[in-house]
Structure 1
Amino acid sequence: MNIKYFNHVRFYLTLLLLTAFFTDFSVAAYAQKITLQTHESNLKTIIKRLENQSSYRFLYADDMLENTYPVTLSVKDKNLKDVLIDIFQGQPLTFQIENKTIIIKNKQQQLGTISGTIKRIDDNTALPGVTIKIVGEGLDLLTVSDPKGNYTFADVPYGTYQLSYSYIGYLTTASMIHLNTAKLNQNMTMRLADARLDQVVVIGYGAKKQKDLTSSISSINQEKLADFSNNAATFESILGGAAKGVLVTQNSGAPGSTAKLNIRGITSPLSGSTNEPLYVIDGVPFFIEGYSDFPTINPLSNIPISEIESIDILKDAAATAIYGSRGANGVVIVKTNRGKKNKPFTISADYTHSVNNPTHMYKPLSAEQFKDAQHSIIQNTIDGINDGKIDPYEAYYNQIPAIQQIAFVSPLADDGYGTPLKYRYDGLNNEAFGKANTDWTQIIRKKNARTSQFNLSLNGGSDNSNLAFNFNAFDQEGLYINNGLKRYSSRLSFDSNVTDHLTAGASLSYAYNTLKYGQQLFAEGNTKPWLVRPDLEAYDADGKFNRIDGTLMYGAPVMLSSPLAQLSNRGINNMQQFLGAAYAEYEVFQHFKLRGDISIASYNGTAHIFAPTYTQDDYTAFGTNLYATLNTNTSNNSNTSLNFRADYDWKKNGHQLYAMAGFGFDRSKNSGDSNSYEEFPDDEILTDPGSAARNTFFTYFRTDQGLNSIYSRLSYKYKDRYLAEANFRSDESSKFGPGNKRAYFPSLSMGWRINNEQFLQTVDWISDLKLRLSWGNTGSTNISNFLYRQFFVRSSNDLWAGKPAIVLDLNVPNRDVKWEKTREYNTGLDFAFFNNRFTGSVDLYDRYTTGALAPAPISLEAGSSTYSANIIDMSNKGFEIELAYDLIKKRDFTWNLSFNIARNRNKIEHLNGANINTYSLDSYIEGYPAGTRKGYLVEKIFDSQAEIDELNSSSPTGYYQNMATGIGDYKYRDLNGDGVINTNDRQVIATAQPKYFGGFYNRMHYKNFNFSFIFQYSKGAAAVMDDFQTSLFGMLGQSLQQEIYDDMWSPTKPDAHFAKITYYDPASNSRTSDRLVYETSFLRLKNINVSYALPTALTEKWSIKQISVFASASNLWTITKWPGLDPEFTGTYITTSTSSNDAYPMSKTFSLGIKAAF
């Protein structure tokens, strides 16, 4: 046999057999029929089902199936290979059939490119610097868009990915993409985020994002503060018009003066509280009203506004109940700048120089007008005597002797016994008047008073710690001579991650104030600068202060100190303030932390004012000596707070829970003394207390008080839609007796973020919509200490054996005195529309206070004056609205407008027999707001004696008003119709509470320029102009208000607004009436600011990060009908602001400054 042939045959036969074998296998594989129905099943499950239906086995590694996708498939009697092709479609794996084995292996990667352009949705301009992230298929890549908004990811494996876009100030956007082509174009438009939703708001013992709040809180951020800080002395003064629902009144323009804050009305009108909120400065709590020993130095002014990061004002009970007994009047939380971690240290400095002048000053009468006014008063008085309106016997002994000192008056007829019945008036005696024409309001003024302020700050930090330091120097000249304030303050804060689980930090601040003054309020109402006679020189021939002859005013030879002399007294107030806080926080395990805090606040002050003999009123004509006097005062106040708490937070499947519980201790100590001395060897050198001849007044006080507290909070959030929070606090106070020391303050609030519901997802114009509901109780301990106890006190004047006598305190104890409690309901709605361009919030509230303290009725036999009890019920109801709109919102140009309005209806619901003293009787009337004034209604000015006679004849007393009423006098309305005018004919004619108030804010930013202004307004309040009352009393030797002089009745001016003026006002035209009432409504341009930041390219050449210059002005103009110095100057306290109290004008301030960062 041919071996070669055989080998060829064998080769082809083998090849034929092999071909037949594999052909048979292939056919068998195709012949295998599969029926399979599955939904979202994993690949491993499907493989097992295929093995059960066929004779094939699968070969693979388990970890190969981890990144595969679920399979949904429905086939019937389909070939196995076709089924396998369907199953592995889109999977990162492929298969290969070997004999009866199906081998699974990874696909060979295919790569593609993802690119696109990112633009703003509002103006379609490119958005550079956007962070783009691609995640999926084991891939995690990051890139940033270029200046044209373009981005590219190259060599990306085919697959499904999540693509996200993020940029500061814009909403983060994410989408799923499937890359199965070489090039995928993915463009994106981004919209601006509503930054306020993510803004962190400081709340009691914690912080929350704005979007998670369920209570009513107003916030002022650093940007808005920067617009106001350039020429404002204190931060609370700038809140008026800027913070929704916060009524701010500036009671004086004097250096160091305070602004009064009232949040949602008065809750305790007669307890001695000024109804101001609790302030918490970097965790250190204190009441501004607790430091009344220093009425001319405001502790809050020690915080430079430029160093404040945020101010959060807690208003409803849900927000304030966590502060318990201190939250009834709201809480103002101030957070100052702290160092920023992972930021290079930055040195910042700024300097501001300001010029101040009064916004308004009274225009006094000239010397000729003064003499003409004296002539009118004398003429009206003589006419009254001659017409029988004034008792001739009284006139003979009182009016006529005084008139004859400055006028020629002689008797015409007498009663036959030597008493004249009528007189002839022959005009003024010019020799009784001076030759000067002095404007006292200008003499005491300091024109263009200067204020300068310098700030130096250091801020920065590393990965584990941060530090901030600030130094501030402030020097303000007053608008009056011999008046000014100097302050030096410093602040240091730091935080550190001591270990991975332990964080600690502290803040320390110190301030030293020196206030120089002569007299803040003029000692005598008759020596107010605008009422002092202008015909006298300020100085005599020897250059000494001229005194004012008070004989005509007092009917006795009194020489009064002039306003200029009063302001030349030597007064100095020094105050030192220390605030310190420290904390340590330890993370026990994930989500659970323990925290301890300690804070200390200390205020120590001394004050003295020396009045030399030449500034004293001279009573030597009565045989008394003229002495220099010295008054001194010291005060030491301290408060220490300790708090310990535990925090736990938990998140899972859209649920978020936060729980906090803690306890705290507060201890306060207050002490001080006051002394008065007189008769010193001289007026210049030996003026210390040891040089005085005698100590005429002395008192000392010391009080210690404590507060123990437990508190807790539970917050819940579900899928960023449903919010709920419960707070609870219990306080135990030393101010109350056994059985009444402890009180409980719960609150509950809920929120519904409606915009996150599915049914609103297609409503594009709604960006945010949240409904809030809350309820809670708060309380107040702003009352005197230990009212439940009887004390012996040291007498301030009585001596026994040369020492102060110990006498019984006249205050009757009330062993059942309790907490003042306030219940409040609040409903709120927060909204944002049209891509967050139009935002706002609305709040409605109902606040009711029970058991407010007041003097209770007490029998005369008790021999005491005061008995305090919980007997007044008060209500406050109102609304608050804030609206904001981004008129322009572009990259280089933004224009923002905001408006807020609030209304509070305060009402004394029940007095329950409160024994209100006569002075306050008209200010607190059941059914009316606190701070009212009662008075008479003027129908007209009498122009007919016949009408007067007819009314007198119909009166049961013989006189409708009184005997002196004549033509030119007021006709008062007889409200009860009994034919006689008396106190029963008075009604409420003025109330201190405005009907509504608020502000309007504008801010424009164009490239490096900023321009802003704010208006503040108030409408509906009214006050009695007391200075006009003084003028209408007709005191000879005293000038009149210009408004009275221009519009007082005379025979030639019968249509005047004011009645005629008669010496000593026998017809009672000066009694409180609606003719003296003026609205204190106003619209004020409170602040305007312009700033420019130099280009970075320029400042970098000087190695300076930033330089900006600014110009600002405050109180530029005010529209008001109030004739006084300022419509806000209508009272010392908000509860009684119904009379003029405006001896010190408000400042109109112009400022220039520069800021730099290195």
Structure 2
Amino acid sequence: MNKNYFNHVRWYLTLLLLTAFFIQFSLAGYAQKVTIEVHNSSLKSVIQQLERQSSYRFLYADEVLKNTIPVTISRQRINFKDVLNEIFETQPLQIQIQDKTIIIKSKEQQLGAVSGNIRQSENNAPMRGVTVKIVGKGLDLITMSDDTGSFIFAELPYGTYQLSYSYIGYFTTASLIVLDRANVNQMMKMTVADAKLDQVVIIGYGSKQQKDITSAVSSIDQQKLADFSNNAATFESVLGGAVKGVMVTQNSGAPGATAKLNIRGITSPLSGSTNEPLYVIDGVPFFIEPSADFPTINPLVNIPVSEIESIDILKDAAATAIYGSRGANGVVIVKTNRGKKNKPFIIAADYTQSISNPTKMYSPLSVEHFKEAQKIIIQNTIDGINNGKIDPYEAYYNQIPAMEIMGKLTPLEDDGFGTPLTYRFDGLNEGAFYDGHTDWTKLIRNKNARTSQFNVSLNGGSESSNLAFNFNAFDQEGLYINNGLKRYSSRIAFDSDINKRLKVGASLSYAYSRLKYGQQLFSEGQTKPWLVRPDISAYDNAGNFSSIDGTLMYGAPVLLANPLAQLNNRGANHINQFLGAAYATYEFVKNLKLHTDISVASYNGGAQIFSPTYAQDDFSAYGSNLYATLNTNTSNNSNTSLNFRLDYDWKKEQHQLYIMVGMGFDRYKNSGESHSYEEFPDNEILTDPGSAARDIYFNYFRTDQGLNSIYSRLSYKFQDRYLAEANFRTDESSKFGPGNKRAYFPSLSLGWRINKEQFMYDIDWVNDLKLRLSWGNTGSTNIANFLYRQFFVRGSNDLWGGKPAIVLDPNVPNRNVKWEKTREYNTGLDFSLFKNRLTGSFDIYDRYTTGALAPAPVPLEAGSNTYYANIIDMSNTGLELELGYDIIKKQDFNWKLSFNIARNKNKIEKLHGANINQYAVDSYLEGYPAGTRKGYLVEKIFNNQEEIDLLNSQSPTGYYQNIATGIGDYKYQDLNDDGVINTDDRTVIATAQPRYFGGIYNRLNYKNFNLSFVFQYSKGAKAIMDDFQNSLFGILGQNLNQEIYNDMWSPENTDAHFAKITYYDPAANSRTSDRLVYETSFLRLKNISLSYTLPNDCLQKWKMNQITVSASASNLWTGTKWPGLDPEFVGSSIVSNTSSNDSYPMSKTFSLGLKASF
């Protein structure tokens, strides 16, 4: 080998060694180990730490690091290269290494877009308005899905992002996406959440999520409310069967008629007390005072059902104590639709047309059967006279004159002084009957009575404000002619964040209602359409309204207006209603807020009814001339409420504390006047009240009352599983006298979310399980004003020298009248099981009311029979159960069933040694529910005289019942075995309170079709059938109920249910007895609704958000044994609930609707 060869080898070896050295040096630099642990630190400080732990230095300009992302990293003894890659991977930077220098410069960003489409998992329908949030690469952006469910984020730097999707009523969903190309598309399906947990419930002076509620609160959302309504005029009338523990009874089928809500029994048994809950509508309290003189339009009718977003019903004392004296009967909080922030404005309109007919009308007797009934009554009466059961002298003056009109009577023997003692009945006197064949129940009806409702609304909002507007027009034709309701209402509401600290809002609504009627109530038996004799025509030969001969009823020539003529009275009631509320909330420091609000409710209305002479009863035989009359009244009612409160909400780790203190001032004003005029120059047209010849009556009234309150709340939550809340309120009311004005209402409730405990983690079929315990006191001012004082009032006209006199109010004052106080315990369990497919709630409660007001007896010398005192202690105990189950839960088909049942047991515990006055003594019995009815028990119907004679011979008075008792009459049970039937033999035979009640709700969804049907039921209540009692009195010239006619005693029908009918009922078969008692139990198909929503591709073509067509029907079927018009009818108070109220039938309604929005 030559020398050059070795030189080359030496040169290559040297180069190789140098290269290996430098490579090793470089690897040693990269292989350096570093330890770094920082949290949300700046990139610059991280670089400084890396420089201290390595031999590298970083080269950069300060402006390059301005928009970098804070660094969070925790690594022990990790390679330097790995640390560099992890730190700079998410930074908008790039690095270049030159020897020991790392150069940092801005990255040339690659941009792309993230888009997607969101649909419902149930039916694959696109979802508009879903909030989509993207986080990553230092960005935090929000957008919303459009009409097609689509969204897009454009010009995003490449990288990894977190997407989240949220929408009210649906589970919030998240996904991770890597943007590494021009466009990444994401398809997302959202699932309906368990609404009971996430639902926000409105409570007294605030709101909570359902999962944090520790008291007994039930809610109904907009969808469920719509399924129950079917074009209803009032929202409270559709709640029957919808909410556990809330008993809803419809007073009447008349347009705008009220429904009674009773929550957990009766706390105020006083006749005239409403036992109605407090209504709070958009923060405006509405309380139906027993002293208020509203026109006969339900003020709640002015709130369209379609505009209600939710109804929350507070039931136990822990929930209602914050409302103090107004919360004893529960609280119904109504929230109407408001605009949603960050939501596009939507215009929606809907129109519904309905036709209605009575669910049931009585079938009156035909003319032939009517005549046969008159013949039977006369024959029974003559037999009684001839058999010595009826005194012939009394009969000669009482029964014989009328029977001689209707029948052919021949005296057989007399007493020698011209008074007949016996008679022969030779059949009916045909001249006493007419040629008509009139079914009055059909003649007075509007067949296919129409109802139309139009509603238009605007809702939406920006980032800081929202707005809602609504207009509603409602026109309902009554089931009777000349009867109908028209309503026009509008509402506007807004909320606005003025800045980060100040938030304001207001809602204003105005409504006008007008009720037209002729005669809503047919109170007299002879003028009830189903009891009016059918042989009379509606018009006479001259075309005028015919009259009914009342001689048989009054014993003198009296002409009664027929039902059709009565419906031609011209009555009209109207009401102007204004509800306004405004609030402001200011956050002084973080979590400490001052809230103030003011609300005004004003109801101003009037009523008038003009009665032509042909629509009145002619009592001229008694010296009263018949004139056209006009009766008017006006009523002005207002309620102003002002509240101030401080709220403090503190959170730290697993603790959450909420404190609220406030004060409120409420003022009520009620005034009005009444006038009566008579003798107008025109019998047909009312021109001017001033044209009346006489002003025969005038009355004016005015009452003011006030309520001052201080209230507070303390709530605490730990680890989202242990819950506690305490409320306190004190009220001072002007209704009570000195020393009794103030009362205190504390409450305490506890909650335990058992499913959050560690021992429940492995039980995956339990999604939620919460135990609730509560205690609280509430009170009631549900009484008339100033019962502790006596006033002078204006007397009648012409009482003294033609001038009105001043007299004492007939009410006897009670200076010691006090609050009715109610204590309540409640235990509840809420649960959600099997992936939320089975949900439910169970409550058991115990209420005790002390010092309930009732009428007490007054000495005759007092000159009055009205005196009220706190003399009753009463209890209400009960249980409530609600279950919901998703029977089918698939993408295109869902079926949800819910069921609720409640039982309340009411009992008067003590009367404190006092008696009740004679007019209410049967309704208040110690040991029994309030509102009972006492009566006689019928053992059988007598069918032989020997048994009657034997009982009479054993009676100390000579008669077991009375002298008139004979074959075909009732045999009443002698309960005390004293041989005499008298008032001591009465016992409780009826109570208005059912053993249990509730509802069943089904909702099915198949693709774009929705079907719902609702059942309501009640079991165990009993009432007296008043019309049957009236028929048993045996009034000649009056028709009979078909049920009475078909099953009354006769020699051919000895096993009848009803006794024989005798004129004026001398044997007292019409006295209140169990033969007149029927269960008012029922199962009703309350509503069924079918709707179809057009698919999304059609909507996109027409640029619409929604088009839905619907058909529904209400009260299609009712299963009941009640023989009256409807088992749900009740009286004006709990005392009269055991009597039938068959004045106006319920309606069966069919509706078609169209709803569109864009």
User: Structure 2 length normalisation: TM-score?
Assistant: 0.89
CA distance in 2, matches of 1:873, 1:461: 52
Question: For the Cα contact (< 8 Å) 2:732–2:741, is it kept in 1?
Answer: yes
Q: How many Å separate the matches in 2 of 1:1010 and 1:124? A: 11
1:1085 aligns with 2:1085: yes
- Contact in 1 for aligned 2:856/2:917 (Cα 8 Å): no
Cα distance change on mapping 1:142 and 1:1107 into 2, 3 Å: closer
2:412 and 2:120 mapped to 1: Cα distance? 95
* Larger mean Cα displacement after TM superposition, 1039-1048 or 657-666: 657-666
Describe the SS at the equivalent of 1:515: strand
Q: Supply the distance in 1 between the matched residues of 2:830 and 2:164 (Cα, whole angstroms).
A: 29
Between stretches 952-961 and 801-810, larger displacement belongs to: 801-810
Report the Cα offset of residue 925 of structure 1. Answer: 1.2
Give 1:790 shift: 2.5
Q: Does 1:214 align with 2:211?
A: no
Over residues 1046-1077 of structure 1, what are the superposed CA-to-partner deviations in whole Å (9 max), with x where a residue is unaligned? 00010011111111111111111111000000
Partner letter of residue 357 of structure 1?
N
Distance 1:148 1:929, change over 3 A: closer
Q: Which amino acid aligns with 1:1050?
A: S
* Equivalent in the alignment of 2:865: 865
- Equivalent pair of 2:923/2:932 in contact (CA under 8 Å): yes
Q: Which residue of 1 aligns with 2:317?
A: 317
Deviation, 1:140, is 7.7
Larger mean CA deviation between 941-950 and 1015-1024 belongs to 941-950
**What does 1:275-354 correspond to in 2, within 5 Å?**
275-289=275-289, 293-294=293-294, 296-354=296-354
Query: Which residue in the other structure is 1:433 paired with?
Result: 433
Q: Distance in 2 between matches of 1:221 and 1:991?
A: 33
Partner Cα distance (2:681, 2:1071) in 1: 46
| Cα 1:342/1:444, change in 2 over 3 Å | same
CA RMSD of aligned residues (A): 4.3
Contact persistence 1:467–1:495 (CA under 8 A): yes
For 2:1000, what is the secondary structure of its paired residue? strand
Q: Which residue of 1 aligns with 2:468?
A: 468
Measured after TM superposition, the shift of residue 622 of structure 1 is 3.2
Letter in 1 for 2:970: Y
Asked if 2 retains the 8 angstrom alpha-carbon contact of 1:940 and 1:972, the reply is yes
Give the Å deviation of 1:321: 0.9
1:215-254 mapped onto 2 (5 Å cutoff): 215-254=215-254
User: Letter of the aligned partner of 2:427 in structure 1?
Assistant: G
Gaps of 5+ in 2: 42-51, 60-64, 90-96, 180-185
Structure 1 residue 345, shift from structure 2 partner: 2.4
Q: Indicate the residue corresponding to 2:1112 in structure 1.
A: 1112
Q: Alpha-carbon deviations, 1:543-596, whole Å to 9, x = none?
A: 111111111222222111111111111111121111111111122222122111
Take 2:244 and 2:274, find their aligned partners in 1: how far apart are those partners? 20
118-127 or 294-303: bigger deviation: 118-127
Q: Which amino acid aligns with 1:747?
A: S
- Note closer, same or farther for the CA distance 1:167–1:703 as it changes in structure 2 (3 Å cut): closer
> What residue identity is the alignment partner of 2:267?
T
Aligned pairs for 1:327-726 within 5 A = 327-685=327-685, 688-726=688-726
Is the Cα–Cα contact under 8 Å of residues 123 and 893 in structure 2 kept in the other structure? Answer: no
- 1:1034 to 2:1050 alignment: no
Q: Using the TM superposition, name which of 769-778 and 784-793 deviates more.
A: 784-793
Secondary structure at the counterpart of residue 796 of structure 1:
coil
**62-71 or 866-875, which moves further after superposition?**
62-71
Name the SS of the counterpart of 1:1115 in structure 2. strand
Q: 1:412 to 1:13 in 2, by over 3 A?
A: closer
Q: How far apart are the structure 2 equivalents of 1:713 and 1:322?
A: 8
> Match of 2:202?
202
Q: Decide whether aligned partners of structure 1 residues 1147 and 840 sit closer, same or farther in structure 2, where only a CA change above 3 A counts.
A: same
In the other structure, the counterpart of 2:955 is 955
Measured in 1, the distance between the counterparts of 2:127 and 2:1100 equals: 22
Q: Distance in 1 between matches of 2:334 and 2:543?
A: 51
Change (3 A) 1:759 1:626: same
Percentage of pairs with the same residue: 74
Equivalent AA in structure 2 for residue 431 of structure 1: G
- The answer as to whether partners of 2:1017 and 2:1083 remain within 8 angstroms in 1 is yes
Aligned CA distance change for structure 1 residues 906 and 104 (closer, same or farther; 3 Å): farther
Q: How far does residue 43 in structure 1 lie from its aligned partner after superposition? A: 16
Residues of 2 paired with 1:127 and 1:694: CA distance?
71
In the alignment, what sits opposite 1:47? none
CA positional deviation for 1:799:
4.4
Partner of 1:986: 986
Please tell me the residue identity of whatever aligns with 1:753: R
Distance apart, 1:491 and its partner CA: 1.0
Match of 1:1053 in 2: 1053
Conserved? CA contact 1:118–1:190, under 8 Å: no
- Specify whether residues 155 and 1096 from structure 1 end up closer, same or farther in structure 2 by C-alpha distance, changes over 3 A only: closer
Change (3 A) 1:998 1:1032: same
1:189–1:440 Cα change, 3 Å: closer
Q: What amino acid does structure 2 have at the position aligned with 1:303?
A: I
Superposed, 1:991-1002 pairs within 5 Å as 991-1002=991-1002
- How far 1:134 sits from its partner (Å)? 9.0
What SS does the aligned partner of 2:1116 have?
Answer: coil
Partner of 2:920: 920
What is residue 852 of structure 1 aligned with on the other side? 852
Question: Following the alignment from structure 1 to structure 2, what is the Cα–Cα distance between the partners of residues 104 and 660?
Answer: 59
Deviation at 1:164?
7.3
Give how far 1:1133 is off: 2.5
Deviation at 1:465, TM superposition (A): 2.1
What corresponds to 2:827 in structure 1? 827
Instruction: Flag structure 1 segments of 5+ consecutive residues without an equivalent.
Output: 45-54, 74-82, 180-185
Task: For residue 401 of structure 1, report the CA deviation from its aligned partner.
Answer: 2.3
Q: Aligned equivalents of 2:1146 and 2:20: distance in 1?
A: 111
Structure 2 counterparts to residues 99-248 of structure 1, below 5 A: 171-172=171-172, 193-248=193-248
Query: What's the offset of the Cα at 1:695?
Result: 2.6
User: Residue type matched to 2:1147 in 1?
Assistant: S
User: What do residues 1091-1146 of structure 1 show as CA deviations (whole Å, max 9, x unaligned)?
Assistant: 11122322333333322111111111111111111111132234431111111101
Secondary structure at the counterpart of residue 1045 of structure 1: helix
Contact 1:58–1:103 at 8 Å: present in 2 too?
Answer: no
The structure-2 alpha-carbon separation of the partners of 1:527 and 1:93, relative to structure 1 and needing over 3 Å to count, comes to: closer
Bigger CA drift: 335-344 or 1025-1034?
335-344
1:183 matched to which residue of 2? Answer: none
* Cα separation, 2, equivalents of 1:150 and 1:298: 47
Q: 2:760 & 2:158 partners in 1: Cα distance?
A: 37
**Conserved in 2, the CA contact under 8 Å of 1:231 and 1:1114?**
no
- 2:47 is aligned to none
**CA shift digits 1:784-832 (9 cap, x unpaired):** 1122223222223454565422222233332222211111111111111
Instruction: Select between 1088-1097 and 148-157 the one with higher mean Cα deviation.
Output: 148-157
Contact kept, 8 Å, 2:273 with 2:290, in 1: the verdict is no
Q: In the alignment, which residue of structure 1 is the partner of 2:1123?
A: 1123
Between the aligned partners of 1:209 and 1:13, the Cα distance in structure 2 is 80
Distance 1:1005 1:526, change over 3 A: same
Pair 290,493 (structure 1): closer, same or farther in 2 beyond 3 Å: farther
Is the 2:960–2:981 Cα contact (8 Å) retained in structure 1?
A: yes
Q: Distance in 1 between matches of 2:20 and 2:1037?
A: 139
Amino acid paired to 1:475: D
| TM-score of the pair, normalised by structure 1 | 0.89
1:528-549 CA distance string (max 9 Å, x none): 1111111111111111111111
Q: 2 CA distance for matches of 1:145 and 1:492?
A: 27
**1:817-872 alpha-carbon deviations (Å, 9 max, x no partner):** 22111111111111111111111111111111111122334444444433322221
Q: How does 1:743-1142 map to 2 (within 5 A)?
A: 743-797=743-797, 799-800=799-800, 802-1142=802-1142
Between the aligned partners of 2:857 and 2:505, the Cα distance in structure 1 is 53
> Residue 920 and residue 150 in structure 1: after superposition, are their counterparts in 2 closer, same or farther (change >3 A)?
closer
Count of residues in correspondence between the two structures: 1124
